[in-house]
């Protein structure tokens, strides 16, 4: 039972804004994990939302506890609360309120910002309001102080860019530029499956939830678990994945469907259709090289906007055949079903049906032309070979999403864990407070809702807006970013996934050997958002905390 009943309203505010903060993390940050997959056409937006629902939630619940502890205990000294539980509860409520509000404004304005820096700046701001500048741990503090976190401002993008560039260069020279690149890709792909599976397994083993005690395994068992899990994935890719993609990209069997994947070795002997190796067989492999053509189409579309008269015109023919029209009073059961099934439901799933690729094409003719010119400098590789990497890209996107859930759930739940513990115990929270699994699950669920309903608003300004995406490039970007985030999460360092994926995108773009393949103007706006987040959130949180603490009262 809660002890501090007099602060029930603070707990209520904390719960609301923790949910809003996690929601905006999903809407603003999860786009970083899946924007490359959607931009390269490896996944549709709806498929990305479904994948994120599993990966973000699993990452938050299984491996999110340690980073949340850094956010909660490493930014300001606990001595500033002077053993006053109510003030501690108020401080973290103010921090969450300020962070969530800024993220909501930034997401609404389609501005990708760092959700990590937002909550860190808010906590630092309330610390200064409580006890001046000495309240904040500005130094290194064994990797948990503010210096460590803000060092990631440069270090995280650089490391992610380095990892992503290394992966792409290996892919480029081992596969993409080969005479028979498809054959080379089929040979090398199981090795990639092994590597990605090993990275994901390491994140689970080294950062497993305390109840699993995976990080207490002996070194020999840990190594066996990592290598064994990766080997199993690699073997399964040989048994099921290789014959499946061989049928599509080599045999050009356009009759193969997704469920044939489970047929595995039987696909080797499956006869190709009579029209294989003809124009009709092009349907077997999606076209990943149509981005530039699309930009020409969208340029024409945005240069001829619909007039208000055209927008308000009534299509009588469409109205007559509308199967979901409401007749009679809306309260009738049949009309209520239509409203729930076709109106309310459509509104709820709208965020998963938006054409992100069209939004990425630019909002004006000049912008579309500029992006089109940038894309013409990007080297295009064999379409069938790119198709091989669409599968790997989905796997790396899920890995990036998993690591994002592990790292960024702390941004909302770290502060909320303090609010809940103070409210439920009536005591100032110490450094050894346990973050309950249900709190991580709550944060993970809200992250997923944020992506599914509003994530498209951030995806529209990244992806192809920064550089032309393809499955091989997106795979390298996501894997480089995921490695960086997982390493940081393993050491309890809350890095920004936004910075990691942008750094990875830049690293891969520069591998073209032409600086014109990257949208430097877009990078400037994103970087400005990172910089402005710190003073805006920090000062606002500090002022709000100071006003509340010193406000007149009866």
Burial profile 279-300: b = 16 or more Cβ within 10 angstroms, e = fewer:
eebeebbbebeebbebbeebbe
247, 289, 489 from 133: Cα distances, Å: 64, 54, 27
Task: Say if residues 26 and 375 touch (Cβ distance below 8 Å).
Answer: no
Q: What is the pLDDT of residue 324?
A: 62
Return the number of other C-beta atoms located less than 10 Å from residue 275's C-beta.
14
Contact of 415 with 18, CB cutoff 8 Å:
yes
Q: Tokens for 463? A: 């992806």
Residue 168, pLDDT score:
94
The two three-digit tokens of residue 101, written as one number: 């509000």
Quick one: pLDDT at residue 314? 40
CA-to-CA separations, 83 to 80, 109, 337, 452, 515, in angstroms, rounded: 8, 40, 55, 41, 55
Q: Are residues 443 and 364 part of one domain? A: no
Do 478 and 351 lie in one domain? The reply is no
* 285 within a domain of the structure (yes/no): no
Residue that terminates a domain, selected from 374, 389, 415: 374
Using CA atoms, how far apart are residues 31 and 399, in angstroms rounded to an integer? Answer: 14
For residue 284, tell me if it sits in a domain: no
Same domain, 414 and 387: yes
Q: What is the pLDDT of residue 318?
A: 41
Closest CA to 6 of 548, 423, 360, 322: 423
pTM across the whole model: 0.80
Cα separation, 145 vs 129, whole angstroms: 18
CA-CA-CA-CA torsion for 319, 321, 322, 326, nearest 10 degrees? Answer: 80
Tokens of 360: 């990425």
> 548, exposed or middle or buried, with CB in 10 Å at 0-12, 13-18, 19+?
middle
> Tell me, what's the pLDDT at 295?
47
Query: Which residues are within 8 A (CB) of 397 and not within 5 positions of it... i.e. 6 or more apart?
Result: 33, 34, 36, 37, 42, 43, 48, 51, 474, 478
Name the phi and psi angles at 50, rounded to 5: -65, -45
CA-CA-CA-CA torsion for 126, 130, 131, 134, nearest 10 degrees? -10
Residue 540 in any domain: the answer is yes
Cβ within 8 Å of residue 347, ≥6 positions away:
none
Q: Going residue by residue through the chain, which has 554 residues, state the pLDDT in tens, using 9 for 90 and above.
A: 456 778 888 999 999 999 999 999 888 887 767 888 888 888 888 888 888 888 888 888 877 666 566 566 667 777 788 888 888 899 999 999 999 999 999 988 888 888 888 888 898 899 899 888 877 877 776 666 777 777 777 888 899 999 999 999 999 999 999 988 989 999 998 998 998 888 877 766 765 554 556 667 788 888 888 899 999 999 999 999 999 998 888 888 888 888 888 888 998 888 877 777 665 555 667 777 654 444 444 445 444 444 433 334 344 444 445 556 666 666 667 666 666 666 666 666 677 777 777 777 766 777 778 788 888 888 888 888 888 888 888 888 887 777 777 767 777 888 888 888 888 888 887 766 667 888 888 888 898 888 888 888 888 888 788 888 889 998 899 888 878 877 776 676 667 778 888 899 999 999 988 888 898 888 888 888 888 888 999 999 999 999 998 888 77
Instruction: Examine residue 133 and state whether it is found in any structural domain, yes or no.
Output: yes
H-type helices in 143-271, by residue range? 146-171, 181-206, 219-236, 242-249
C-beta of residue 455 within 8 angstroms of C-beta of residue 31: yes
Do 468 and 40 touch, CB atoms closer than 8 A? Answer: no
In a domain, residue 343? The reply is yes
Looking at the structure of the chain, the number of domains it has is 2
From 374, 395, 415, the end of a domain falls on 374
- In sequence order, the β-bridge partners of residue 136 are 76
Pair (9, 123) in one structural domain:
yes
Inside any domain, residue 552: no
pLDDT of residue 291: 47
Contact 512, 378 (CB under 8 A): yes
Q: Are residues 361 and 406 in the same domain?
A: no
Which among 349, 374, 399 is the end of a domain?
Answer: 374
Q: Answer whether residue 550 is part of any domain.
A: no
Show the domain range for 385: 5-267+380-545
d(CA 527, CA 117): 13
In this structure, are 535 and 449 located in the same domain? yes
- Asked if 208 and 116 sit in the same domain, the reply is yes
Q: Indicate if 260 and 355 belong to the same structural domain.
A: no
Q: Are residues 183 and 232 in the same domain?
A: yes
Same domain, 331 and 356: yes
Judge contact between 403 and 493, C-beta under 8 A. Answer: no
Same domain for 348 and 414? no
3-state helix, strand, coil in the chain (%, to 5): 75, 0, 25
Decide: 97 and 13 in contact? Cβ < 8 Å.
yes
Q: Are residues 227 and 297 in the same domain?
A: no
Residue 226 falls inside a structural domain? yes
CA separation (Å) from 304 to 300, 461, 547?
Answer: 6, 21, 51
């Amino acid at each position: 039972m809660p002890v501090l009943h007099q602060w029930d309203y603070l707990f209520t505010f904390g719960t609301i804004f923790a949910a809003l903060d996690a929601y905006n993390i999903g809407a603003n940050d999860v786009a970083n994990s899946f924007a490359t997959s959607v931009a390269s056409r490896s996944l549709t937006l709806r498929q990305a939302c479904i994948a994120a629902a599993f990966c973000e939630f699993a990452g938050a619940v299984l491996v999110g506890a340690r980073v949340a502890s850094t956010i909660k205990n490493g930014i300001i000294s606990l001595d500033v609360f002077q053993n006053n539980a109510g003030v501690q509860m108020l401080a973290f409520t103010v921090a969450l309120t300020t962070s969530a509000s800024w993220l909501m404004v930034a997401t609404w304005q389609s501005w990708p910002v760092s959700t990590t820096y937002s909550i860190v700046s808010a906590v630092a701001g309330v610390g200064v309001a409580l006890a001046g500048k000495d309240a904040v741990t500005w130094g290194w503090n064994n990797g948990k102080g503010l210096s460590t976190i803000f060092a990631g401002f440069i270090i995280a993008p650089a490391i992610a860019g380095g990892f992503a560039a290394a992966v792409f260069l290996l892919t480029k020279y081992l596969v993409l530029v080969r005479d028979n690149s498809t054959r080379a890709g089929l040979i090398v792909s199981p090795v990639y499956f092994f590597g990605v599976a090993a990275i994901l397994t390491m994140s689970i083993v080294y950062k497993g939830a305390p109840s699993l005690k995976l990080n207490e395994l002996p070194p020999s068992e840990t190594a066996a678990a990592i290598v064994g899990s990766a080997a199993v994935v690699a073997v399964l890719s040989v048994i099921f994945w290789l014959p499946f993609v061989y049928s599509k990209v080599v045999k050009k069997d356009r009759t193969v469907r997704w469920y044939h994947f489970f047929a595995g070795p039987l696909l080797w002997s499956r006869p190709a259709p009579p029209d294989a190796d003809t124009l009709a067989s092009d349907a077997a492999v999606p076209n990943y090289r149509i981005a530039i053509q699309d930009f020409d189409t969208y340029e024409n579309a945005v240069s001829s906007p619909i007039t208000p008269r055209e927008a308000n015109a009534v299509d009588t023919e469409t109205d007559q055949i509308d199967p979901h029209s409401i007749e009679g009073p809306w309260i009738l059961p049949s009309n209520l079903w239509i409203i729930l099934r076709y109106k309310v439901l459509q509104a709820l799933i709208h965020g998963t049906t938006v054409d992100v690729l069209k939004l990425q094409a630019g909002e004006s003719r000049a912008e579309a032309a500029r992006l089109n010119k940038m894309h013409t400098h990007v080297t295009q590789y064999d379409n069938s070979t790119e198709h091989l990497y669409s599968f790997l890209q989905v796997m790396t996107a899920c890995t990036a999403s998993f690591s994002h859930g592990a790292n960024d759930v702390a941004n909302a739940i770290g502060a909320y864990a303090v609010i809940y513990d103070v409210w439920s115990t009536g005591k100032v929270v110490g450094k050894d407070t346990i973050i309950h699994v249900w709190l991580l699950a709550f944060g993970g669920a809200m992250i997923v809702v944020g992506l599914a309903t509003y994530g498209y608003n951030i995806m529209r300004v990244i992806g192809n807006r920064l550089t032309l995406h393809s499955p091989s490039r997106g795979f390298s970007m996501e894997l480089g970013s995921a490695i960086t985030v997982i390493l940081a999460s393993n050491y309890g360092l809350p890095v920004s996934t936004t910075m990691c994926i942008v750094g990875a995108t830049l690293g891969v773009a520069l591998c073209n050997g032409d600086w014109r393949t990257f949208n430097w103007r877009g990078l400037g706006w994103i970087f400005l958002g990172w910089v402005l987040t710190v003073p805006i959130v920090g000062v606002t949180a500090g002022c709000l905390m100071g006003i509340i603490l010193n406000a007149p009262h009866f």
